[in-house]
Amino acid sequence: LIGHSQGAQTVRYVASVRPDLIASVTSIGGANYGSGIIDLISQKLPANSQAEHAAQLVFDAFGGVISLLSGNSDLPQNTMGALNSLSTQGAHAFNQKYPEGLPLNECEQGQLVAENGVYYFSWSGTAALTNILDLTDLPMLLGSLLILGKDDGLVSRCSSHLGHVIKDDYEMNHLDEINQFIGLHNFREVDPIELYRQHVKRLQELGL
């Protein structure tokens, strides 16, 4: 299983509850310890306030665009649920229930093979502006300015760590990691698609 961003929690959950069905989990730009930018947004949005409702409309629309670009335009959006699960507090609660693959200390390497017998991997980027033609780089830059330390525009380098960390400082932002927008990325960096090819080969060599 491979999960990007919030999808990292999804694949970790599946591997935790049904490890008999899963050979490996790979987290790409996953907020495994939460996202500082989500914490900031949550603090500024009092529950049931007009600001919260306005933000929900904006983020639901953004999620709809991402779904459209991913070929799944009919997927439902739940902004507040996402914010809660991706906050530091929400991620901590999730990690208490499903700890497999996490490093003993944040920003360290985790176990390649966890107690449940599943292999865990991760990688992420630490860039915001990566291609002058990419319109999505601007929101990535704004996000990066709100996060302490190295990050991909939404998730910090340390928060992305899970299992064996393949690399945590690719010249990629959060959307480059999944080859969006329309494949524009830093052309001095490895093509995101090539990263997936390399990883498939890695898994094959491990017999997974």
In a domain, 81, yes or no: no
In a domain, 43, yes or no: no
* pTM for the full predicted model: 0.86
In a domain, 55, yes or no: no
Number of domains in the chain: 1
In a domain, 58, yes or no: no
Catalytic, out of 4, 174, 176, 185: 174
CATH number of residue 199's parent domain? 3.40.50.1820
174 counts as catalytic: yes
In a domain, 75, yes or no: no
Confidence of residue 197 (pLDDT cuts 50, 70, 90): very high
156 counts as catalytic: no
User: Residue 45 has what pLDDT?
Assistant: 67
What is the rounded end-to-end Cα distance, in angstroms, of the chain? 11
111: which residues sit within 8 A by CB, 6+ positions away?
101, 120, 163, 164
Catalytic, out of 152, 159, 160, 168: 152
What domain range includes position 96? Answer: 2-36+86-205
In a domain, 128, yes or no: yes
List the structure tokens of 191: 């093509």
Residue 46 vs residue 94, higher pLDDT: 94
Closest to 90 in 3D by CA, of 148, 31, 13: 31
Q: What is the pLDDT of residues 59-118, one digit of tens each?
A: 667 666 666 666 666 767 676 777 788 889 999 999 999 999 999 988 999 999 999 999
